[in-house]
Amino acid sequence: MKTLRYFVAALGSLLVSGAMASEVVALKFPHDLPENTIKARTIKLFAEKVDEYSNGTLRIDVYPGAQLVSSKDEIRAAIRGQVDIVAPLTSYYVPLDDRWEIFNQPGLFNSFEHSIKVFEGEIGQTLLKDLDQFKVRGIGLWNDGPGYIYTSGDPVVKPEDMAGRKIRVTPSAPLEEGVRVVGASPVSIQAPDVYLALQQGLVNGAITTVTLAASARWYEVLTGMTRVLQQHGGYAVVINQARWDKLSEDHRNALMKAMADAQKWNHDVSVSNSAAAEKTLVDNGVEIQEVDGQVLAQWRDKYKSVYESQSEPVRKLIAEIQSAAGQ
């Protein structure tokens, strides 16, 4: 009888440990964009790789289209533990750390390749690591595309060509001020409403990423693009710190291995997507205004006051980037 009790106890222990071993841990990952965007596609790949590397024991539940939380509330939801992983635009981190505004400095970066190098390099990695103080853990950086000036009507080459225009910008103090210093007026309009606003003449230009301009068919209501890089579109991926702490070492390793794959894929696709998007614009009649070094210097001279108005930590980053780029 005693032997039977030991056998039953041992069997029960095996059943419990087996159930624990097969239990799937699920992490909620909401985002705000359609599933055909580079961000959504990167999340999809990330989720697939997490499943692969964890042998199905760690699952990423993706909620697109702002089903769980709006884009502006994603960070707060992750800090509070209402969701597990989020990947907001870098500008949404500015209230926590204004150094993230470095990626919205008009005219600072020489090219998309330059801004990618800064974003993925030491500056971007430091900003990501420093988010740890806000009850989240930075785990990745994903690119979107370069942000340029798009206009209708007469082409824009020199800063004075912007005078009197109404330009739609995403909420960002340096981007808004950058529009003002060249004689134009910044206008805040939600992305889904920009096409109609351009069509009706409420604005006659916009600062946005080349990928959005193409995918949203803004080429139907715009005529030109000026190659003075205004912003680097990117996302910082974070996980709730308490949720990270509860993950097993195997699951943490699977998560970060999947992130490495997702970052590599995102880097390659963001470059090719941007080139393809630019071709789409040109094929549909958008004229790209190339800017030589002398004219770029004129734009940057206008933007000096924007740089000088930034906080000291941001000014230090601007100086570091300018020095490294030989500006």
Tens of pLDDT, residue by residue, the chain (327 residues): 444 443 334 444 444 334 344 589 999 999 988 787 889 999 999 999 999 999 999 999 999 988 889 888 999 999 999 999 999 999 899 999 999 999 999 999 999 999 999 999 999 999 999 999 999 999 999 999 899 999 999 999 999 999 999 999 988 999 999 999 999 999 998 777 899 999 999 999 999 999 889 988 999 999 999 999 999 989 999 999 999 999 999 999 999 999 999 999 999 999 999 999 999 999 999 999 999 999 999 999 999 999 999 999 999 999 999 999 988
Which among 290, 154, 147 is positioned nearest to 222, based on CA atoms?
A: 154
Which among 271, 289, 273, 175 is positioned nearest to 222, based on CA atoms?
A: 289
Give SS3 for 58: strand
Longest alpha-carbon distance in the chain: 96
Q: Are strands 224-240 and 25-30 parallel, antiparallel or unpaired?
A: unpaired
Backbone angles phi, psi at 67, to 5 degrees: -65, -40
Which among 280, 299, 270 is positioned nearest to 144, based on CA atoms?
A: 270
Contact 230, 148 (CB under 8 A): yes
The rounded radius of gyration (Å) of the Cα atoms in the chain is: 23
Contact 302, 181 (CB under 8 A): yes
Q: How many residues does the chain have?
A: 327
Per-residue confidence (pLDDT) for residue 114, from 0 to 100: 96
Please tell me the distance from the alpha carbon of residue 247 to that of residue 173, in angstroms, as a whole number: 38
Superfamily grouping for domain 23-324 = Bacterial extracellular solute-binding protein, family 7 (3.40.190.170)
DSSP annotation string for 79-110: HHTSSSEE--BGGGGTTT-GGGGGGG-TT--S
Give SS3 for 32: coil
DSSP alpha helix (H) spans, 98-215: 112-120, 122-129, 173-180, 191-200, 210-215
- Give me 276's structure tokens: 């393809």
Q: Are strands 287-289 and 224-240 parallel, antiparallel or unpaired?
A: parallel
Specify the residue for token string 């103080």: 133
Per-residue confidence (pLDDT) for residue 22, from 0 to 100: 58
